[in-house]
Structure 1
Amino acid sequence: GYITVDNNAGDRNNITFWHGGEALIERVTSSCSNTIVITHIVGPVLMESWIDNPSVTAVLSAGLPGQESGNALVDILFGAVNPSGRLPYTIAKQRSDYPADILYESNEGDFPQITYSEGLNVDYRHFDANNITPRFEFGFGMSYTTFAYNSLNIRSGPGNNAKRQEQPAPAAATPFPVPIVSTAATAVAPSTVAVSGPSSAASTLVSSALVISSASVIASVPASVLTSAPPIISSSGPANLYETITTVTYTIKNTGEIDGNEVSQVYLGFPASAKEPPKVLRGFDRTFIKRGKTASISVGLRRKDVSVWDVVKQEWVIPPGTFTVMVGSSSSSIHLTGTFVP
């Protein structure tokens, strides 16, 4: 059977904190003007009731990091590790901003009919399609350093998928001074930080490890597999679906004072006739860049990446028209754009 916590039997049926978490934050902030909120959560929670509290100077979403949680958090809090992760979901400002909700009751017995009317507009794609501003968008994250994006180039063909000229990460991190409002956990534990201040209506967020699922962290994935899937033969279509037909290259410069990783993301906008979401993630790359240095990144787009399923022909087809490439540090923070025709 399932355990029941705050009337949640098994899966949660709300997106608020359990065990009176909001009341705890209110009590602590009433006595402490420099409160760091650390959350251990499995998905989005509502933060609007306290996120703009001037006494909340940072918010850290630590996920479910396990036995090394304490060490991981301290590494970021005291500057031994520079965080670089990204949110794997969107945190909305209100529950109704999400495209779907729980079905609590049904007149259709134990097996109700559920219509997925949102189609492909799930998570950030739903927010984009409906012009909804979230609290923290998909792919968002912070670092103790800063980065500048430049030199977008889009060309036909596979290009050089060895992809990047980067600095090797140091074997051991060296502590460095950090801003008092910055917190997170190390890459050992998936964690995300939001920083909020009294003079800013919008908070920002940082994490130390891009979470692929609740049990996997991007920091442990070899760099060679980050940009696209290997050229395999799939039952979902011909082998050439997995051939790289367009290559996107760009540069990122570490413009801050500290070495760090940047997780750049490549989104694709389809021609309007395809009736796809406004933008879809098609690749990302976690790149370690020393301060003052520049890295060159290359992300390949496969034939399938620019295709849609034709229900009449029963095959993948490339819709006619102009595609838009968007390169950024989150689904909302786009730094470079360009177009191409496959």
Structure 2
Amino acid sequence: MTEPVNIEALLDAMTLDEQVSLLAGADFWTTVPIPRLGVPSVKVSDGPNGARGGIFKDGPSTACFPVGIALAATWNPALIAETGAALGVEARLKGARVLLAPTVNLQRTVYNGRNFECHSEDPWLSSEMAVAYVNGLQSTGVAATIKHFVGNESEYQRMTVSSDIPERPLRELYLLPFERAVKVAKVQCVMTGYNRVDGTFMADHHRLVTQVLRDEWGFDGLVMTDWMAHHDTVRSVLAGCDLEMPGPTRERGNKLVAAVQDGRLPADAVRACARRVLQLAERVGSFADPVIPAERDDDLPAHRALIRRLGAEGAVLLKNDADALPLALKAGQTVALIGHAAVTPQIMGGGSANVNAHHRSAPMAALQAACPGVDFVHRPGADSHRWTPLMPVPMTVDFWANDRFDGPVVATQTSPNTEIMWFGSLPAGLDPYDFSARTTLRFVAEAEGLHAFSLVSTGLARATLNGEPVLDAWTGWRRGDTYFTFGCDEVLHHRTLQAGDVVELQVEFSTAVEGGGFGVHALRVGASRLMGEADIAAAVDAAAKADVAIVFAGLNAEWDNEGLDRPGIALPHAQDELIARVAAANPNTVVVLQSGSPLLLPWLDAVPAVLQAWYPGQECGLAIADVLTGAAAPGGRLPQTWPLRIEDSVAFGDPAQYPGVDGHVRYGEDVFIGYRHHEARGHAVRFPFGHGLSYTRFEQTGLALDRTTLQPGDTLTATVTVRNAGPRAGSEVVQLYVHDTASTLARPPQELKAFAKVALQPGESRTVSLSLDMRAFAAYDVDRAAWWAEAGTFEIRVGSSSAAIHQRETVTLAADWVEPVAR
């Protein structure tokens, strides 16, 4: 047995400089070691849908799991715990002992660019997913890092915006997933958000980090900043933020030593933070095994199978008139596959959750393998991109060791496509704040038409086309919404080309930009023909000649992306027109949607079946084919309400509530987000929270409560019987909502407080038990600074979505229950 580490003795043996050195990263992904005392370095890795490792783009491949909203759509905590354990194995393969996951911010609005990465609009569903994920991950000895604490519900002005959240919704909604991860799952790390809350940056927020997280909830783990989210040398340490990331330090180091020596910061505060860094290293086993191994790209069959299962179990069957699905295809039939995503699998969102997947299963290839003898034809139909598509050719870049292209070329690097991201992957010997680079690319037009050429960069960039300077991201360069807001907005040039025309692009990049982007640099070169009427017509013609048409529509990692929000919830480009015209040409049209948040569906009445597949990870095509063909049942339920109109959504029309005014975004809707908002206002919605159809039919009967009167402190148990009354195996999600029939505080019409997923064979029945403690009946009373369940009658509602309540029973709370928050 390994001897426990005497952390206090280590701290006693350290100089102030050594203690301070522990409080910032050594580099992008590791902590600082102290070799003379045997203090190891700990490596962290981005999640939450895969362990990427130390190279941001094109490093060793890894398993890509479904995104956060797709995991939550399973409504299956046991399966999510299994997923967490698999991700722990993946983290170890990358030499990491800390995974930066899960993301549990709520889907407050429909605009947030990271809604795909979050679990749900509902705090209970989000917290159940978080607890399962953390438990599974930490069972492998890898620490989870729940993020982003707290109020990080949009990407607009994300590095500075203040989320001004009243105390009641802060407690009831936004803090709940963090609270339960701490209290129930014993999460080991917490990451603070970029944002401010009520004017104070989260890394400096003493009330929330020390008073709430540590003192009230009892969190004894490590708090780290998000990357480049550290602002105040002294305030962050006093707030209890232990680790500034990434390294090398910008705000700690010598500044922190000076603050202690000048008497602005007590040495004990530094020691407390250093203690927690050492404690993390011990908990994850780094003292016992200090070696950080080389990254491995093992492609594990068990993880492939799990990802494929997750994809099907999270897929939500939104509509299925006349049992259009599953498909009953026969040899000799023709199926028209329409849309880019049929052949270019959309497996994940963009930003820090992005990984270099082992492979990407495409729906067309998977359907061809599953349906021998069926003729599948493909037509792209319409564009779906946000930025001009990359050129699918290698890009070789030459480097100079200055920002002026002076002297000899000192290094060369090749990217598999025309995007290169220097996030810890710059060639050795180059200064990330002082280099220049040049590449030459050759583009050949495949068809006649208007073409787009583009540049995006985190530094100065410019390009010539056949010697003509046409792309200028150099003169007057300024930061925009790309590359985590360190990149400029896309610069475009259009020209008409004939088939076979050749264009030579010479592209130059320089770091000579004010601020230096924290040494985080990237270059993106786009070139593509713009699609138009002829492409839609070709798709419609193929659909008209086919027995079945399947349209793959939606978004991609450019729209669902860290660093920038969505402009709305309509499908981009001409996708809505494409679907409507294909459906008019072929009544047997199925639509497969992929997005990380709701969409408007103006053509919904014209198609018999719609499947929401999210971004389901590397087995994307196989999982979608399994559901379409009936090899697997669609097991998903919506974790987020889909509104009928964007005008009905939370914060619409009030800039102060979204996106914010003068650096502040006001959470003026109080506790009314998601289905709470729509139900309180009587909105009709497109698809309600918890909605999802099946290939079979279920009955929920026999709701019974174990008591009719509750005394303060009691637990209520509800039982319900679920029966599969249809012809196929499938799963049902029993959802329990609580309605307070009369309340002093304004409360939502109902709130999800328990759920259970049940898999049943045809004719099989099972009784499900759901337990509710006092918090299930309580609201947060600001005046009392306490959780308060008010005496009176509560209705227990059980159903298959927030809008499909099948049974109701009432229970009476005999007297008030009050639980003050710890101070």
Q: What TM-score results when the alignment is normalised by the length of structure 2?
A: 0.29
Query: Which residue of structure 1 aligns with residue 729 of structure 2?
Result: 259
Residue equivalent to 2:669: 118
> Which is richer in helix?
2
Q: What CA distance in whole angstroms lies between the structure 2 residues aligned with 1:307 and 1:105?
A: 29
Structure 2 CA distance for aligned equivalents of residues 67 and 99 of structure 1: 33
CA contact (8 A) 2:660 2:666 kept: no
Partner letter of residue 775 of structure 2? K
Q: Deviations over 1:133-155 (max 9, x none)?
A: 11110000111111111111112
| Structure 2 residue aligned with 1:24 | 578
Over residues 192-246 of structure 1, what are the superposed CA-to-partner deviations in whole Å (9 max), with x where a residue is unaligned? xxxxxxxxxxxxxxxxxxxxxxxxxxxxxxxxxxxxxxxxxxxxxxxxx9x7611
| Aligned 8 A contact 2:701 2:807 in 1 | yes
Is the Cα contact below 8 Å between 1:270 and 1:279 reproduced in 2? yes
Any idea what the Cα deviations from partners look like across 1:8-46, whole Å, max 9, x if unmatched? 982211111123221221332232221111111110111
Tell me the secondary structure at the aligned position of residue 127 of structure 1: helix
Q: Give the Cα separation in 2 of the matches to 1:93 and 1:75.
A: 29
Q: CA deviation at 1:87?
A: 0.6
Q: Which secondary structure does the structure 2 equivalent of 1:52 belong to?
A: helix
Q: Which has the larger radius of gyration?
A: 2
SS at match of 1:114: strand
Q: In structure 1, what is the equivalent of residue 338 of structure 2?
A: none
Distance 2:780 2:660 in 1: 34
Matches within 5 A, 1:320-331: 320-331=791-802
Q: Is the 8 A contact 2:734 2:800 kept in 1?
A: yes
**Could you tell me whether the CA contact under 8 Å between 2:798 and 2:806 is conserved in 1?**
yes
Q: Check conservation: 1:89, 1:138, Cα contact below 8 A.
A: yes
Deviation at 1:125, TM superposition (A): 0.9
Instruction: Tell me the SS of whatever aligns to 1:77.
Output: helix
User: Does 1:278 find its partner at 2:749?
Assistant: yes
User: Is the contact between residue 656 and residue 665 of structure 2 (CA under 8 Å) also seen in structure 1?
Assistant: no
Of 611, 618, 621, the match for 1:70:
621
* 3-state SS of paired residue (2:754): strand
Name the CA distance, whole Å, in 2 between partners of 1:104 and 1:36: 37
* 1:34 partner amino acid: N
CA distance in 2, matches of 1:286, 1:139: 12
Q: Which structure 2 residues correspond to residues 71-150 of structure 1 after superposition, within 5 A?
A: 71-101=622-652, 111-150=662-701
Q: Distance in 1 between matches of 2:763 and 2:583?
A: 38
Aligned equivalent of 1:46, options 579, 587, 600: 600
Q: Percent identity?
A: 35
Separation in structure 1 between the aligned mates of residue 660 and residue 768 of structure 2, nearest angstrom: 53
Residue pair 1:271, 1:319 contacting (<8 A) in 2 also: no
Match of 2:776 among 299, 305, 312: 305
Rate the CA distance shift 1:109–1:298 in 2: closer, same or farther, 3 A. Answer: closer
Q: What is the distance in 2 between the residues matched to 1:110 and 1:152?
A: 48
Offset, 1:79: 1.0
Question: What is the CA distance between 1:322 and its match in structure 2?
Answer: 0.1
The amino acid that maps onto 1:138 is: F
Report how many aligned residue pairs link the two structures.
253
1:22, 1:50 within 8 Å by CA — same for their partners in 2? yes
Which 5+ residue runs of structure 2 have no aligned equivalent? Answer: 1-480, 484-489, 491-557, 814-823
Residue identity opposite 2:765 in structure 1: T
Q: In structure 1, how many angstroms separate the alpha carbons of the residues matched to 2:660 and 2:620? A: 43
1:91-150, CA deviations, whole angstroms, 9 ceiling, x for partnerless residues?
A: 1111111121377699x9974443322211111111111111111100001111111111
Conserved in 2, the CA contact under 8 Å of 1:151 and 1:250?
yes
Structure 2 distance, partners of 1:74, 1:105, is 44
SS of equivalent to 1:26: helix
Aligned partner letter, 1:286 = K
| Change in CA separation of 1:21 and 1:109 when aligned onto 2, cut-off 3 Å | closer
The question of whether the paired residues in 1 share the 8 Å contact of 2:691 and 2:800 is answered with: yes
Alignment-mate amino acid for residue 29 of structure 1: A
2:738 counterpart (268, 272, 281): 268
Work out the CA distance in 2 between the residues paired with 1:19 and 1:67: 26
How far does residue 269 in structure 1 lie from its aligned partner after superposition?
0.3
Preserved contact between residue 268 and residue 282 of structure 1 (Cα < 8 Å): yes
SS in 2 for 1:341: strand
Residues 61-95 of structure 1: CA distance to partner in whole angstroms, max 9, x if unpaired? 11111221111111111111122210111111111
Deviation at 1:319, TM superposition (A): 0.7
Indicate which of 756, 760, 767 corresponds to 1:296. 767
Give the residue type in structure 2 aligned to 1:253: R
The alignment partner of 2:611 has SS state of strand
**Structure 1, unpaired ranges of 5+:** 158-240
Q: 1:340 to 1:109 in 2, by over 3 A?
A: closer
CA contact (8 A) 1:249 1:298 kept: yes
Which digits, 9 at most, give the CA deviation of each residue in 1:280-322, with x for residues without a partner?
Answer: 0001111111211210000100111111212222111211110
Letter in 1 for 2:581: R
Which amino acid counterpart does residue 791 of structure 2 have in structure 1?
P
Greater Cα shift, 67-76 or 324-333? 67-76
1:86 maps to a residue whose letter is: R
Aligned-residue RMSD, C-alpha:
2.6
1-structure distance, mates of 2:573, 2:660: 32
Letter matched to residue 38 of structure 1: V
Q: How many Å separate the matches in 1 of 2:594 and 2:618?
A: 13
Quote the Cα distance in structure 1 between the aligned partners of 2:727 and 2:622.
24
The code of the aligned residue for 2:778 comes to: S
- Structure 1: how far apart are the matches of 2:663 and 2:651? 15
Residue in 2 that maps onto 1:177: none
